[in-house]
Structure 1
Amino acid sequence: MSRESLRWLNQNTLIGFTAKRGSAWHYRASEQGDEPNHYSGPIPVDDVKRRLFAWTPIEGTVETSYLTDDGVTRITDPTRKTIIRPDTGTVLGVFSQKFRVHEYKRWLLENLETILDDELFIGSAGLLKNGAVAWVQVEVPESCTTPEGITFRPFLSAATSLDGSLASTYQTGAQVIRCDNTLSASLAEGSAKRIKVKHSRNSLHRIAEVRDALGIIHRVADDFAEEVKRLCQVNVSGAQWNSFLDVQVPIPRERGRKRTLAETKRAGLNRLWNHDDRVTPWKGTAFGVIQAVNTFAHHEQVVRGAVRAERNMLRMVTGGVDELDLSTLQTLERVLDRSVLRKVA
């Protein structure tokens, strides 16, 4: 990771409840700005507004110029507009006039403030892609521990974008403390508890619907604990684990780069399964399989086109975590008798 990337993460993300979960892996004291970005307890709403969302995006025109025999010609496209971050002068996106800006303070903070109380607080917030993407995450103050030994923090995240890459998205999840992973909160259902609002002309009419639905975080802890229990009761033998790998990471017959990458990934998953304490306590279970694949994706898989922390955060806010865990479970079902999972459920 470049120094510039480290500086961005240390100055444009806020991490709360570090007394419960420890410091973020990207924390560097030397890269902090005027204020530390870690909080031992919850992050104050005013700090999120002041440190991250003090600016308001503005709309600009789309203009261009080109050289002809008669000189320079300038034109403006009245059907298009730009979205600009005024404090840096960065153009975050170019859109049709139908695009509706979901301003961060309103769509992230004001919506979430309606559910903040003595039991729910802001646990993290940040800007990505030079401010084109933002999120705020709400958590309960105390971590939860299941009888199977999984300590986790249920959360509800709100995220949106100014570059069109992400609809305003509200969804639940669970952060596993031992490995700093984000897991889907609804593995058995095969679908996340998620609400998406596109940047369309009618999007403002859905704000009330979003606020009414945010109460789902109170059910996340029970749902996730039930999923852990269910998956820990499904046995996965050594032979079934190898069969899972054959489907999950097939090794090409021909030698070359693809085969090398597959062999490296398979070796990494085997090492986590057999020797890494982020996975070994649940080795031999369906939950152990989920944990191995999720841990590899979060901390070891090759990242291209982004830094690992940004990729992990984007996966969390866009629903990629749910897709990853669901895909793993579907592959495992192809190896095991499907009725086994249904009987436990």
Structure 2
Amino acid sequence: MSADVNEMFAAERAGQLEAARDWERELQNRLAAGTVKRLPDGRYRILSGWDAGEILSDRGAPQHGLDLSRGRPALYSAVPAWHHVGNVIPGGTADIDKVLELGGIDYHIDTVPATYLWNGAYRYAEGQFHTVRTDTGASLGVVGKSYTVVQNRQAFEFLQELVNDSNAIWESAGALRGGKKVFVAMRLPRHVRVDAEGINDEIVPFVVVINSHDGRCPYEVVLTPWRPVCGNTERLAVRDAYSRWTVRHTRSALDRIQEARRTLGLSIRYYDKWVDEETVLARTNLAINEFDELIDALWPPGDTPTARTRRTYEARRERLHNLFTGEAERTGRTAYAGERAVTEYLDHFAPIRPSAASGLKDNKPAARGLRLLEGVDDELKSRAHRRLMHLRQS
């Protein structure tokens, strides 16, 4: 079964649940030994050892990070994913209105003047407005007078043409951060294969569209090659082909979205170019010292690293070497294997530190998934790709 950019959460959850079970067993042993005490609010106080007095929170099942404004996770999916929550419709649906409804993103956004309390009276903040959900009344952000709301249906309806014309599938849709950010992922019907006559590595083509209502992020359409065998997003720039359209929330936003709509027909060109370049890498041998040079180019150790920096550097290198070795066993010791090791490390193993502003500070699995969705590491993946392509050409 094909997966989408959210499928990784199923594996994340399995690992998290196993860790939670291990923690629960350890907790019960410590309760029986009298080294921790349960508090009325469900937390635990440590009674002995170097951390005596510290408070432990109840580490149950991990959070999924989806919007819960309506009392249920805002998610539609054609396959069980993202912690197996939300509305799963096996095989998907072809109706955009159903997708918006099941994904919990069929709400509208209004802008209202921003006010503040001063000496017991409310004043208007000139030129500032709140973006407000009309279903819940929640404020999602503060924006200026030139900000243009892109309603969720306006953001995604142009993809309906792909459904009608080419049997593309609405794979998933949902909302995050209380509805500040919404997304859809569409799986294109034509799968592609890297080095079809050699390693024959399957790639599933997706179009991901992300809209925001907090005034901080643009509207984006992103082409996302997905590698099911490792659950990796292989988004990276290739020559002479568009892979991303970014539209700011200004008065011309809707016109720019129409431009993205027209150029999206070139998406197949991107995937063709992507496969061509990846096939070149799959036929390029990569020595271990060349892989080390790639690591150092992406994560320079610095001239005078501290002991902590050195430990981080060595741990990262060891992890990347292990990933490269595992990938090389399947696809050969090639530049393609080196690039896959980098993408797998960035998608699943690179340390992340969610900020309080993200709303996911205590939810690393969801933060990692959002990082994947937003393509935070796409530029680093592209740098790795360019360097390895240069290796081939040199």
Q: Counterparts of 1:207 and 1:8 in 2: how far apart (Å)?
A: 26
Q: Where do 1:109-120 residues align within 5 Å?
A: 110-117=157-164, 118-120=166-168
For 1:74, the equivalent position in structure 2 comes to 122
Instruction: Please list the CA deviations of residues 179-216 of structure 1 after superposition, one character each: whole Å capped at 9, or x if unmatched.
Output: 111112643x2874222221112223334323212212
1:8 aligns with 2:66: yes
For 1:232, the equivalent position in structure 2 comes to 282
1:156 aligns with 2:207: yes
Q: Counterparts of 2:126 and 2:297 in 1: how far apart (Å)?
A: 52
Aligned AA for 2:168?
Answer: L
For 2:113, the equivalent position in structure 1 comes to 61
For 1:196, the equivalent position in structure 2 comes to 246
Give the Å deviation of 1:64.
Answer: 0.9
Which of 251, 257, 268 is the aligned partner of 1:218?
268
Aligned AA for 1:106?
Answer: Q
Give the Å deviation of 1:254.
Answer: 4.6
- 3-state SS in 2 of match to 1:212: helix
User: CA 1:260–1:90 in 2, change beyond 3 Å: closer, same or farther?
Assistant: farther
Q: Counterparts of 1:145 and 1:329 in 2: how far apart (Å)?
A: 17
Q: Counterparts of 1:201 and 1:139 in 2: how far apart (Å)?
A: 30
1:258 aligns with 2:309: yes
Aligned AA for 1:238?
Answer: I
1:182 aligns with 2:233: yes
Give the unaligned 5+ runs of structure 1: none
Which of 360, 374, 382 is the aligned partner of 1:326?
382
Given that 1:273 and 1:288 are in contact with CA atoms closer than 8 Å, whether structure 2 keeps it comes out as yes
Give the unaligned 5+ runs of structure 2: 1-15, 17-59, 355-359
Given that 2:208 and 2:221 are in contact with CA atoms closer than 8 Å, whether structure 1 keeps it comes out as yes
Give the Å deviation of 1:257.
Answer: 2.5
Q: Counterparts of 2:236 and 2:386 in 1: how far apart (Å)?
A: 16
User: CA 1:215–1:190 in 2, change beyond 3 Å: closer, same or farther?
Assistant: closer
1:205 aligns with 2:255: yes
User: CA 1:183–1:302 in 2, change beyond 3 Å: closer, same or farther?
Assistant: same
Give the Å deviation of 1:81.
Answer: 0.4
User: CA 1:37–1:231 in 2, change beyond 3 Å: closer, same or farther?
Assistant: farther
Q: Where do 1:327-342 residues align within 5 Å?
A: 327-332=383-388, 338=390, 340-342=391-393
User: CA 1:142–1:247 in 2, change beyond 3 Å: closer, same or farther?
Assistant: closer
Question: Based on CA coordinates, which of the two structures has the bigger radius of gyration?
Answer: 2
Q: Counterparts of 2:185 and 2:253 in 1: how far apart (Å)?
A: 21
For 1:27, the equivalent position in structure 2 comes to 83
- 3-state SS in 1 of match to 2:345: helix
Instruction: Please list the CA deviations of residues 295-330 of structure 1 after superposition, one character each: whole Å capped at 9, or x if unmatched.
Output: 01111111211434444444444x535312212134
Report the identity percentage.
21
Given that 1:42 and 1:123 are in contact with CA atoms closer than 8 Å, whether structure 2 keeps it comes out as yes
Give the Å deviation of 1:142.
Answer: 5.7
1:287 aligns with 2:333: no
Given that 1:63 and 1:75 are in contact with CA atoms closer than 8 Å, whether structure 2 keeps it comes out as yes
Instruction: Please list the CA deviations of residues 128-151 of structure 1 after superposition, one character each: whole Å capped at 9, or x if unmatched.
Output: 222111111222246443322311
Give the Å deviation of 1:220.
Answer: 4.2
Given that 2:142 and 2:214 are in contact with CA atoms closer than 8 Å, whether structure 1 keeps it comes out as yes
Q: Counterparts of 1:7 and 1:96 in 2: how far apart (Å)?
A: 28
For 1:272, the equivalent position in structure 2 comes to 323
Instruction: Please list the CA deviations of residues 193-246 of structure 1 after superposition, one character each: whole Å capped at 9, or x if unmatched.
Output: 222221112223334323212212333442332122111122211221223233
Given that 2:190 and 2:205 are in contact with CA atoms closer than 8 Å, whether structure 1 keeps it comes out as no
Which stretch of structure 1 is more off in the superposition, 218-227 or 162-171?
218-227
Q: Counterparts of 1:4 and 1:296 in 2: how far apart (Å)?
A: 22
Aligned AA for 2:227?
Answer: V
User: CA 1:43–1:142 in 2, change beyond 3 Å: closer, same or farther?
Assistant: farther
TM-score (norm 2): 0.72
Given that 1:61 and 1:80 are in contact with CA atoms closer than 8 Å, whether structure 2 keeps it comes out as yes
User: CA 1:98–1:7 in 2, change beyond 3 Å: closer, same or farther?
Assistant: closer
Give the Å deviation of 1:43.
Answer: 3.9
Given that 2:111 and 2:131 are in contact with CA atoms closer than 8 Å, whether structure 1 keeps it comes out as yes
User: CA 1:291–1:332 in 2, change beyond 3 Å: closer, same or farther?
Assistant: same
Which stretch of structure 1 is more off in the superposition, 174-183 or 38-47?
38-47
For 2:187, the equivalent position in structure 1 comes to 139
Instruction: Please list the CA deviations of residues 66-103 of structure 1 after superposition, one character each: whole Å capped at 9, or x if unmatched.
Output: 33xxxx24311231100012333321110111100111
TM-score (norm 1): 0.81
Pairwise CA RMSD of aligned residues? 2.7
